[in-house]
């Protein structure tokens, strides 16, 4: 009988553990965190002449901890607003599967772990990591309900990971990580405004002001195209040779222009059609663009 009871309860225990892991991944936005870590690793590979596995592991785990902490703090602060939106109402906090204390504890532990891990790489890496958490949590998150300029503020912590890898490899900040920062900084405007366009009704229910004009209109679409063009221009700056140790070959520039044209095509389509479907396609195009850009940068150096 005891064995049967144990056997019957085992699936329940397994289910609970699985649910806890699922809630943790949702709280930290695991997939987003991994994509951010990918950016920092790409930045490291651009700067490093010899790959140090301990630094790569530090960037992976430290970077994940910092991004996960930012997302956890964000969801704790916005739990009541998340409950109003279809996209977010099933997150652990608004759904009631996790309490405030658990979320804050996870966020705090991840913050401390992230700073400690990045500190072992060098103090500047830890400093930029801590700065990204502070800006995202304490400035960007509260501003989302006050002004569309929140996207501008949020672009700063969002742009740090790509340059963070360079700082981790060199221990210094200069023109090279500055360019990497600018690429990802300008890229975020078309990316997040595409999301804001798709989720405009949901965001307005929660009181978030995400689009530059407040509405999915032609003026917003024009700004999306404008920032897309600037992203493409900045991406090829290393070819000018005024970028320190960061450089690009002609073949890399051609590849960047091709994927930039792909990105711009969908931005122009959004301005033409002004539909949620066009915004969705632009969002996916933006993700493909930044991922391919980082791969092109890295391959151009190592091949």
CATH class for the domain made up of 13-171? mainly alpha
Q: Give the separation between CA 15 and CA 258, rounded to whole angstroms.
A: 47
pLDDT at 4 over 60: no
**The total number of residues written for the chain in this structure:** 303
Q: Is the pLDDT of residue 44 over 90?
A: yes
pLDDT tens by residue, 124-179: 999 999 999 999 999 999 999 999 999 999 999 999 999 999 999 999 899 999 99
pLDDT of residue 10 exceeding 70, the answer is no
* Residue 15 confidence (pLDDT) above 80: no
SS3 of the chain: CHHHHHHHHHHHHHHHHHHHHHHHHHHHCHHHHHHHHHHHHHHHHHHCCCCCHHHHHHHHHHHHHHHHHHHHHHHHHCHHHHCCCCCCCCCCCCCCCCCHHHHHHHHHHHHHHHHHHHHHHCHHHHHHHHHHHHHHHHHHHHHCCCCCCHHHHHHHHHHHHHHHHHHHHHCCCCHHHHHHHHHHHHHHHHHHHHHHHHCHHHHHHHCCCCCCCCCCCHHHHHHHHHHHHHHHHHHCHHHHCCCCCCCCCHHHHHHHHHHHHHHHHHHHHHHHHCCHHHHHHHHHHHHHHHHHHHHHHHHHHHC
- Tell me the two tokens of residue 262: 């792909």
Cα 210 to Cα 73, 153, 175, 186, 207, distances in angstroms: 19, 12, 30, 16, 9
Looking at the predicted structure, is the pLDDT value of residue 3 above 70?
no
Q: How far is CA 84 from CA 99, 135, 171, 196, in A?
A: 18, 25, 44, 16
Q: What is the pLDDT of residues 256-278, one digit of tens each?
A: 999 999 999 999 999 999 999 99
CA distances to 38, 40, 176 from 45, in Å = 11, 9, 13
d(CA 230, CA 294): 17
Above 70 in pLDDT, residue 194? yes
For residue 98, is it left (φ>0), alpha (ψ between -120 and 50) or beta? beta
Statement: residue 9 has pLDDT above 60? no
Q: Look at residue 242 in the predicted model and tell me its pLDDT.
A: 85
- The domains of the chain are located at 13-171, 174-303
Q: What's residue 241's pLDDT?
A: 80
């Amino acid at each position: 009988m005891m064995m049967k009871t144990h056997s019957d309860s085992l699936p329940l225990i397994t289910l609970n553990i699985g649910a806890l892991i699922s809630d943790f991944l949702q709280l930290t936005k695991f997939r987003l965190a991994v994509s951010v870590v990918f950016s920092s690793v790409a930045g490291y590979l651009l700067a490093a002449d010899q790959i140090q596995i301990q630094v790569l592991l530090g960037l992976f785990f430290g970077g994940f901890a910092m991004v996960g902490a930012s997302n956890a703090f964000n969801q704790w602060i916005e739990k009541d607003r998340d409950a109003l939106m279809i996209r977010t109402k099933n997150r652990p906090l608004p759904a009631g599967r996790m309490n405030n204390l658990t979320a804050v504890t996870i966020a705090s532990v991840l913050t401390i772990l992230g700073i400690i891990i990045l500190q072992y790489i060098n103090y500047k890496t830890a400093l930029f990591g801590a700065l990204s958490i502070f800006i995202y949590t304490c400035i960007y998150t509260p501003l989302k309900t006050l002004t569309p300029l929140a996207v501008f503020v949020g672009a700063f912590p969002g742009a740090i990971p790509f340059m963070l890898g360079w700082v981790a490899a060199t221990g210094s900040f200069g023109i090279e990580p500055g360019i990497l920062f600018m690429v990802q900084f300008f890229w975020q405007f078309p990316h997040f405004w595409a999301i804001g366009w798709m989720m405009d009704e949901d965001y307005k229910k929660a009181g978030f002001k995400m689009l530059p004009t407040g509405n999915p209109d032609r003026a917003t679409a024009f700004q999306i195209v404008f920032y897309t063009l600037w992203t493409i221009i900045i991406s090829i700056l290393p070819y000018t040779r005024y970028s320190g140790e960061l450089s690009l070959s002609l073949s890399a520039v051609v590849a960047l222009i091709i994927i930039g044209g792909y990105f711009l095509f969908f931005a122009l389509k959004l301005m033409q059609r002004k539909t949620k479907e066009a915004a969705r396609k632009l969002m996916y195009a933006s993700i493909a663009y930044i991922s391919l850009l980082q791969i092109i940068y890295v391959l151009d150096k190592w091949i």
